[in-house]
Amino acid sequence: MSDRERFSRWMRFEDVDRPPVWEVIGYWPEALERWQEKGMPRDVHPRVWFGLDYYERLLIATEVCPPFRAETLHEDDDQIVYRDGEGVIMRKLKSGPRSMPQFLRFPVETRADWERFKRERLGPDAPMRFPQNWDYVVRCLPLRDFPVGVHAGSLFGRPRNWMGMENISYAL
């Protein structure tokens, strides 16, 4: 049974040899290093090593498009304040263990911000959302033996990133 057939049958609640098994978030560099220390060969992809099913994500930009201009707003010896591509202004430490940044401002803080953000950054037909070879990709899709998907973030996570935890909680 191909990975595509397994996924299709699973989604239709039909019999399969086993459920599809994927890693969809990715692998932390520290985890890869530890697995390699424990015996995973460096020239083998973790998906193959762990026997996971194969799938691909279509390279469609589902995030803010066009992105905000990422820029450093303030920097000193210990920290950096910057705006990322989603328009979030945050502060992070420059050294020490990896940790979450402190979120300072969000691109959507009012209803007017949302209307402007939606109009300027979320257009579904923005040409830069699709790869240059999109017509070719569409023609090749029926030929594959694996499932494909589009990473769209989460129904909670994306608006939280744009509004902040407090504002998305009130909005809900």
In this structure, the strands spanning 56-57 and 148-149 are parallel
pLDDT digits (tens, 9 = 90+) for 127-146: 889 999 999 999 999 999 99
Q: Does pTM surpass 0.85?
A: no
Residues 114, 79: Cα–Cα separation, whole Å: 30
User: 106 Cβ partners below 8 Å, 6+ apart?
Assistant: 87, 88, 89, 161, 162, 163, 164, 167
Amino acid 50: pLDDT: 93
**Ranges of residues in the chain whose predicted pLDDT is under 70:** none
Contact 118, 27 (CB under 8 A): no
